[in-house]
């Protein structure tokens, strides 16, 4: 990975700096994925349209999403890992991640 600098609103910068490390990592992953898709000349509208389908194909149900959004138990990265272990139902997740990364390259 390589660091770059992007200008954001003051309140976003402050919230990011004050966020826990696991939240910062989550934000970095989302931004990284978004930029990869935009570099592939996809519009933001195209990307937004694909998100629900990709999430559903990856095993995310409305019930799981509601549980994640309504839970206060994700105070650290380790507890998040414990809580989400075993929800992937599409085979070897590492193989899937490597395949997706190859597609983005």
- What is the phi-psi region of residue 55: left when phi exceeds 0, alpha when psi lies from -120 to 50, beta otherwise? alpha
9 compared with 90, residue with greater pLDDT: 9
**What are the boundaries of each domain within the chain?**
10-104
Predicted model pTM = 0.45
Give the position of tokens 């990364």: 101
Percentage with pLDDT > 90 across the chain: 2
Per-residue model confidence as pLDDT tens digits over 51-100: 788 777 777 788 877 776 676 655 567 777 777 777 777 777 778 888 88
Q: Which residues contact 36 (CB under 8 A, 6 or more apart)?
A: 104
What phi and psi values does residue 74 have, to the nearest 5 degrees?
-90, 60
């Amino acid at each position: 990975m390589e660091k770059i600098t992007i200008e954001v609103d003051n309140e976003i910068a402050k919230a990011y700096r004050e966020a826990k490390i696991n939240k910062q990592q989550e934000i970095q992953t989302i931004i990284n994925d978004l930029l990869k898709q935009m570099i592939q000349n996809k519009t933001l509208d195209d990307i937004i349209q694909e998100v629900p389908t990709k999430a559903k194909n990856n095993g995310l149900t409305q019930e799981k999403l509601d549980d994640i959004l309504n839970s206060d138990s994700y105070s650290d990265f380790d507890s998040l890992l414990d809580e989400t272990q075993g929800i992937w139902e599409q085979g070897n997740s590492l193989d899937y991640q490597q395949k997706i990364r190859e597609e983005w390259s």
